Amino acid sequence: ETGVTQTPRHLVMGMTNKKSLKCEQHLGHNAMYWYKQSAKKPLELMFVYSLEERVENNSVPSRFSPECPNSSHLFLHLHTLQPEDSALYLCASSVGSYNSPLHFGNGTRLTVT
Amino acid sequence: EDQVTQSPEALRLQEGESSSLNCSYTVSGLRGLFWYRQDPGKGPEFLFTLYSAGEEKEKERLKATLTKKESFLHITAPKPEDSATYLCAVQGVVVDSNSGYALNFGKGTSLLVTP
């Protein structure tokens, strides 16, 4: 399997649930990203990991918790979310972090009820 | 702060009717400008990277150009399969430890090409 794979594709969760989003890249890249995409808004960078070390946290609420166990896998742990957190969550990877294009997965469509 | 503005928000073309999408940007030193295509229910797909004013890149019916203030994505003789949302993003020089990795995206242009 090639590219960037995200699971699940769709997720519905209540405000008190705990769930995790998973991302796996098969491109040999060393940087991984979480982005949030909401309707009518630009993509928002959430977290960046480079060589498994978190290098950027873009003022994201603590109810979102990332984890990068190795350079191929990235998780986003979710707990006590709000309805306004409903969005498409996109994972991406790149070779290095400067001037390198991002390669995106197809995202997880999250609905918080 | 880096800013990216795309216009128009939406564009409807007849098959074969050429046009251009605009991406205006403000950045403190451009490292790269990126164009992506996004189909409904999918993640953005990388198209081009442009690094300096005057640079041009082509892929099939698409041609991207760059000036110091804006980029254009020219679509020549489009087909229905070119229908998608086209996203522009810029990466500026590192200002501090929290800005070096960010791609700043525009809101996109939604393109519909009808037969």
Rounded to 5°, the CA angle A55-A67-B91 comes to 35
Inform me whether the pLDDT recorded for A4 exceeds 90: yes
Inform me whether the pLDDT recorded for B100 exceeds 90: no
- Give me the mean pLDDT over the B4-11 stretch: 97
Most B-contacting residue of A2, A104, A110 (CB-CB within 10 A), to test interface:
A104
> What pLDDT, on a 0 to 100 scale, did the predictor assign at position B27?
86
Q: b vs e for B20-46, b when ≥16 Cβ sit within 10 Å of the residue's Cβ?
A: ebebebebeebbbbbbbbbeeeebbee
Inform me whether the pLDDT recorded for A70 exceeds 60: yes
Most A-contacting residue of B47, B50, B91, B103 (CB-CB within 10 A), to test interface:
B103
- What would the pLDDT profile of B25-56 be if each residue is shown by its tens digit? 998 888 899 999 999 999 999 999 999 999 99
> What pLDDT, on a 0 to 100 scale, did the predictor assign at position A41?
92
**Continuous segment of H or E residues that includes residue B114:** strand B109-114
From the list B42, B103, B104, the residue facing A106 with the nearest CB is B42
